[in-house]
């Protein structure tokens, strides 16, 4: 191969979430594209998004998209259901030529898996109240009995980084108890933070309830869009993954160490322009 010849390995993918949750998506992308350069922003200094206004989430998402495209991202993954619901349209209209992947609760796979037709959806208040979610439910779950569980406080508790902490387990227990009473046989993990507590959710719901995690579906969509990209010249010096946080660097470091099995460099990110409220 010619020295410095462009290869698919040099593709740069920007990924962001309100915080640590999007690392569940980053991990799946890395499994499918092991040679891509991954750029990740955890907006932990402004998490949780789930209880913020749409305007606030739009402003954060646009600022982070600008940062990641400025870092050379050729493709942007909004690894957050809440930000996708509130801001994907705004991000797409700001970058009409950009390749942008969003994340939505997996109602379609849930419809294929459920046997009793009762499907629980665990997600943030923001996701569940969104027009985007209403349309998704109309398209894929009109025939299902959807039981929506706004998991207040759960993403914020996971942001502590300690997924086995009592505060996290209490939140999981409360939200799962509500769904268990409703005899759902399938539970959609409609927030990218929740795969990190899937073991607790499964334990609360029981072994017969199936959990739907869309991380790998998002990674497959990312692979499809990455295939359309002109590759950039590879740089041997570039790290495989660069992670920034607007929150606590140590928390991100510990979390990445526990959950990611590939090398990352981490850096703080000064809060990007933020609206009030
Ligand atoms: N991880 C985000 C999602 O997928 C939201 C968590 C939050 O409330 O910030 O919805």
Partners of residue 38 on adjacent β-strands: 13, 241
3-state secondary structure the chain: CCCCCECHHHCEEEEEECCCCCHHHHHHHHHHCCCCEEEEEECHHHCCCCCCCHHHHHHHHHHHHHHHHHCCCCEEEECCHHHHHHHHHHHHHHCCCCEEECCCCCHHHHHHHCCCCEEEEEECHHHHHCHHHHHHHHHHCCCCEEEEEECCCHHHHHCCCCCCCHHHHHHHHHHHHHHHHCCCCEEEECCCCHHHHHHHHHHHHCCCCEEECCHHHHHHHHHHHHCCCCCCECCCCCCCEEEEECCCHHHHHHHHHHHCCCCCEEEECCCCCCCCC
Boundary-marking domain end, from 213, 230, 249: 213
CATH number of 13's domain: 3.40.50.1860
pLDDT at 175: 98
Whether 162 and 182 share a structural domain:
yes
Centre of ligand 1 to C-alpha 171, Å, is 15
Which one, of 157, 161, 192, 159, lies nearest residue 173 by Cα? 157
Whether 86 and 25 share a structural domain:
yes
Residue 165 has which token pair?
């902490």
Centre of ligand 1 to C-alpha 24, Å, is 12
Domain that residue 31 falls in: 8-103+216-268
Residue 134 has which token pair?
């209403």
pLDDT at 7: 47
Centre of ligand 1 to C-alpha 79, Å, is 9
How far is 7 from 233, CA to CA, in rounded Å? 7
Whether 61 and 97 share a structural domain:
yes
Is 176 catalytic? The answer is no
Residue 236 CA: distances (Å) to CA of 3, 168, 172, 264: 11, 40, 43, 15
Whether 144 and 202 share a structural domain:
yes
Is ligand 1 within 6 A of the CB of residue 81? yes
Is the pTM here over 0.85, yes or no?
Answer: yes
Is ligand 1 within 6 A of the CB of residue 130? no
Q: What's the gap between Cα 45 and its chain centre? A: 16
Whether 220 and 244 share a structural domain:
yes
pLDDT at 272: 73
Nearest CA to ligand 1 atom 9: 48
Is 80 catalytic? The answer is yes
Nearest CA to ligand 1 atom 2: 80
Instruction: Give the number of other CB atoms < 10 A from CB of residue 183.
Output: 12
Residue 269 has which token pair?
């990110």
Ligand 1 atom nearest to 80, measured from its CA: 4
Is ligand 1 within 6 A of the CB of residue 48? yes
Mean pLDDT by 10 residues, the chain (277 residues): 46 97 98 95 97 97 98 97 98 97 98 98 98 98 98 98 98 98 98 98 98 98 92 60 97 98 95 60
Whether 228 and 91 share a structural domain:
yes
Whether 98 and 228 share a structural domain:
yes
pLDDT at 230: 75
Centre of ligand 1 to C-alpha 229, Å, is 28
Boundary-marking domain end, from 196, 213, 230: 213
Is ligand 1 within 6 A of the CB of residue 80? yes
Provide the number of structural domains found in the chain.
Answer: 2
Whether 112 and 96 share a structural domain:
no
Q: Which of 80, 151, 176, 264 is catalytic?
A: 80
pLDDT at 3: 41
Centre of ligand 1 to C-alpha 234, Å, is 33
Is ligand 1 within 6 A of the CB of residue 149? no
């Amino acid at each position: 191969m010619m020295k410095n010849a462009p290869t698919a390995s040099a593709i740069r993918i920007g990924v962001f979430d309100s915080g640590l949750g999007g690392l569940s998506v980053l991990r799946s992308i890395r499994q499918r594209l092991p040679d891509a350069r991954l750029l990740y922003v955890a907006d932990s200094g402004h998490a949780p998004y789930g209880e913020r206004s749409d305007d606030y989430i739009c402003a954060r998402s646009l600022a982070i998209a600008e940062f990641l495209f400025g870092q050379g991202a050729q493709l942007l993954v909004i690894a957050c259901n809440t930000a996708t619901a509130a801001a994907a349209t705004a991000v797409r209209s700001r970058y009409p030529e950009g390749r942008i992947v969003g994340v939505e609760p997996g109602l379609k796979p849930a419809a294929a898996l459920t046997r009793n037709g009762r499907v629980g959806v665990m997600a943030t208040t923001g996701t569940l109240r969104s027009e985007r979610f209403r349309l998704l439910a109309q398209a894929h779950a009109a025939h299902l009995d959807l039981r929506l569980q706004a998991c207040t406080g759960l993403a914020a508790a996971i942001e502590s980084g300690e997924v086995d902490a009592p505060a996290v387990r209490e939140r999981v227990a409360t939200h799962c108890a509500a769904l268990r009473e409703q005899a759902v046989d399938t539970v959609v993990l409609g927030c990218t933070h929740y795969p990190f507590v899937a073991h607790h959710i499964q334990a609360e719901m029981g072994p017969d309830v199936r959990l739907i995690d869309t991380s790998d579906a998002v990674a497959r969509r990312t692979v499809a869009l990455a295939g359309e990209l002109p590759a950039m010249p590879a740089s041997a010096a570039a790290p495989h993954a660069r992670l920034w946080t607007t929150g606590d660097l140590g928390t991100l470091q510990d979390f990445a160490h526990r959950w990611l099995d590939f090398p990352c460099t981490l850096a703080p990110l000064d809060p990007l322009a933020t609206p009030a409220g």
